[in-house]
Amino acid sequence: MLPVPSTLLSLTFTLLLHLTHLPRPVSADVQPFTIYDNVFIPPDYVAARNFSPALGGSQETIRQWANLTVQTAPWTVTSKPIVAPSGDKKDYMSWAPYWWPNCTGVGNTTVLSPYQEWLTCPYYQIDGDFNPYRLTVDDIGAFSNVSDAVLYNALAYSFENTSASNIYSQRIVKIIDTWFLDNTTGMNPNLNYAQMEGGPKGQVGTHTGVLDLHCMVKVVTGILVLRKLEAVDWTADLDSRMKAWTTQYLTWLETNTLGIQECASLNNHGSWCFNQVISLKILVGDTAGAVNSSQTFFQGIYQGQINSTGDQPFEASRTHPYHYRNYNLAAMITNAQLYKYADPSANPWSIKTKAGTTIQDAMDQTMTVNYNTSGEADDIAEIYPNIAAIAATYGDPSGKYVAFLEKGFPEYAWDADFFWNQPLAGSALVDAGAAANGTNGAAAPGKSGAVRTRRLGNVVAAGWVVLSAFVMLL
Ligand SMILES: *[C@@H]1O[C@H](CO)[C@@H](O)[C@H](O)[C@H]1NC(C)=O
Ligand SMILES: *[C@@H]1O[C@H](CO)[C@@H](O)[C@H](O)[C@H]1NC(C)=O
Ligand SMILES: *[C@@H]1O[C@H](CO)[C@@H](O)[C@H](O)[C@H]1NC(C)=O
Ligand SMILES: *[C@@H]1O[C@H](CO)[C@@H](O)[C@H](O)[C@H]1NC(C)=O
Ligand SMILES: *[C@@H]1O[C@H](CO)[C@@H](O)[C@H](O)[C@H]1NC(C)=O
Ligand SMILES: *[C@@H]1O[C@H](CO)[C@@H](O)[C@H](O)[C@H]1NC(C)=O
Ligand SMILES: *[C@@H]1O[C@H](CO)[C@@H](O)[C@H](O)[C@H]1NC(C)=O
Ligand SMILES: *[C@@H]1O[C@H](CO)[C@@H](O)[C@H](O)[C@H]1NC(C)=O
Ligand SMILES: *[C@@H]1O[C@H](CO)[C@@H](O)[C@H](O)[C@H]1NC(C)=O
Ligand SMILES: *[C@@H]1O[C@H](CO)[C@@H](O)[C@H](O)[C@H]1NC(C)=O
């Protein structure tokens, strides 16, 4: 390599810092940290605190995200500008993303405000086309933040080798208390007004809205970690109040028509519904129930989700088939991880669908899909955590999973998910790369503040690639 003048180096460094701090569009879909489709981490792995030195970069990323996720904390459903049709401020509410008003036949004589349109005009669906007005009410974005903040702060807490109170556990307590438990700000344990379609007939929730809370799995992971580490801030009182809330919500999920319909959905919606039911049963200590629900999933809708060529027909038919294949993969992976945790003697990873295929077959098929065909280049990053999870679980004897990661996402060892997708670190390539890059137990230089988002894809990913090149120069 040619010697690089130090002035050029520092100029490059300055430019790169600016590049990573470019203003980004702000929406619920774009955050300065990665919102994984879902995350379940066995608490025993975290509590053992026996982490490979190759995980230093991913741990540093998690520490940074623990701080980034709490910037607007705490969150409450009572802060939204509009109250649900029940009139109860504590009712969760969201609007179905793909529904649009059609005011043609309404007979209005003046222009209607978006809110008047929402009350007055019939709504119709355009699959895949987000209605931006839905974000006027952002309980869904707030909950997404709750789940990520709890997850990353619980992991950051575990890195501190303590059970004493610290900033990370204090944040979690405040966030959980405000969102779920506090008498004036806590969400009622139901989703009666989730993903309302809008219009006179759309002032009630739809079963697809149950999806809004699928990242309860991240909250469950965080709480299990605090419990396992005996964090003093996670008191017996908090634990029993959270169990009480969860028990009520589980009853709603399993008896309300919306919950029943959602878990009966044949596609990703059904898979995500089981993510919630299984993880919440684990949280309340109903292990037998968690195993039963896991079996219901794998003997039920899972059977029809992967065909003999490994494709997922219910996702392949959507307008964003690349995204949806990965989305359902993440849900199936999470159900398998939860099942394995609830019953260590089970082997969900080898359970075959009625077409004779496994989750790994679905992964392998998805890796052959060209995201360009459906114009989904922005969604490419969604595949990497799935590949890491599959490689960590099934192994990677031919090296094809690691090769895919190296090619498309060479920074993967700094991604947060690398921390929990273990023993992927066992791959020689990763260990050699991490050691050569000097990441043993420490962050890679220049990575500080670097961020990656899924939806934004290209812009931020470009920042990462340039940054990595710079790291190698050093
Ligand atoms: C996160 O925030 C805490 C508390 O302000 C601070 O001590 C810590 O250095 C921060 N960590 C990172 C990686 O920014
Ligand atoms: C909009 O409403 C008009 C009048 O009721 C109807 O003719 C038309 O088909 C509707 N368009 C859509 C896309 O639903
Ligand atoms: C009725 O409301 C719609 C939606 O705001 C608007 O586009 C339309 O122009 C209105 N009609 C009249 C006559 O003002
Ligand atoms: C979620 O967190 C992000 C990052 O801090 C913030 O930009 C966004 O406004 C938050 N969303 C809500 C609904 O609070
Ligand atoms: C926690 O313990 C690990 C392993 O002994 C060590 O590498 C790490 O530096 C410790 N972290 C803190 C914050 O003390
Ligand atoms: C919250 O409300 C419950 C009953 O509705 C009551 O028992 C409890 O004392 C209240 N807690 C606080 C902190 O006000
Ligand atoms: C789960 O439990 C229900 C109720 O006890 C039972 O009817 C069902 O057969 C069980 N499902 C499985 C897969 O064991
Ligand atoms: C599997 O599903 C895909 C997507 O729907 C379809 O193109 C393919 O023909 C199916 N394969 C078989 C063997 O049915
Ligand atoms: C998708 O298109 C981009 C831009 O043309 C190209 O760089 C990339 O290699 C394509 N990806 C695949 C998998 O064909
Ligand atoms: C060092 O990290 C970069 C990504 O930042 C990666 O492309 C490279 O392969 C790594 N070095 C080695 C020797 O693996």
Q: Which residue has the tokens 């929406």?
A: 27
pLDDT at 460: 31
pLDDT at 21: 26
Q: Could you tell me the distance, in angstroms and rounded to a whole number, from the CA of residue 161 to the centre of ligand 10?
A: 29
Q: Report the C-alpha gap between 35 and 415 in whole angstroms.
A: 12
Which ligand minimizes its atom distance to the CA of 374? 9
Contact 227, 43 (CB under 8 A): yes
pLDDT at 32: 84
Q: Could you tell me the distance, in angstroms and rounded to a whole number, from the CA of residue 464 to the centre of ligand 10?
A: 12
pLDDT at 28: 39
Q: Which residue has the tokens 């801030």?
A: 233
Among 207, 65, 71, 190, smallest CA distance to 139 is for: 190
Length of the chain: 474
pLDDT at 430: 56
Contact 282, 217 (CB under 8 A): no
pLDDT, block means (10 residues), the chain with 474 residues: 32 29 35 92 96 88 96 97 95 94 96 93 92 92 97 98 98 98 98 96 96 98 98 98 98 98 98 98 98 98 98 95 97 98 98 98 98 94 96 91 90 90 70 48 33 29 29 25
pLDDT at 80: 95
Q: Report the C-alpha gap between 409 and 432 in whole angstroms.
A: 16
Tell me the C-alpha to C-alpha distance, in Å, between residue 106 and each of 98, 101, 113, 201. Answer: 21, 11, 14, 14
Name beta bridge partners: 123: 101
Report the 10 Å Cβ neighbour count for 113.
10
Q: Which amino acid is at 299?
A: Q
Among 405, 461, 465, smallest CA distance to 429 is for: 405
Q: Report the C-alpha gap between 210 and 96 in whole angstroms.
A: 11
Q: Could you tell me the distance, in angstroms and rounded to a whole number, from the CA of residue 274 to the centre of ligand 7?
A: 14
Contact 275, 38 (CB under 8 A): yes
Position in ligand 8 atom list of the atom nearest CA 317: 5
Q: Could you tell me the distance, in angstroms and rounded to a whole number, from the CA of residue 102 to the centre of ligand 2?
A: 6
Q: Report the C-alpha gap between 461 and 22 in whole angstroms.
A: 12
Q: Report the C-alpha gap between 12 and 360 in whole angstroms.
A: 42
pLDDT at 427: 61
User: Is ligand 8 within 6 A of the CB of residue 307?
Assistant: yes
Q: Could you tell me the distance, in angstroms and rounded to a whole number, from the CA of residue 309 to the centre of ligand 8?
A: 6
Contact 158, 229 (CB under 8 A): yes
The one-character DSSP state at 348 is G
Q: Report the C-alpha gap between 312 and 330 in whole angstroms.
A: 13
Position in ligand 1 atom list of the atom nearest CA 64: 13
CB neighbour burial string for 205-234, b if at least 16 within 10 angstroms, e if fewer:
bbbbbbbbbbbbbbbbbbbbbbebbebebb
Ligand 10, pocket residues at CB < 6 Å: 410-411, 432-433, 436-437, 468, 471
Q: Report the C-alpha gap between 294 and 297 in whole angstroms.
A: 5
pLDDT at 455: 26
Position in ligand 9 atom list of the atom nearest CA 370: 13
pTM of the model: 0.85
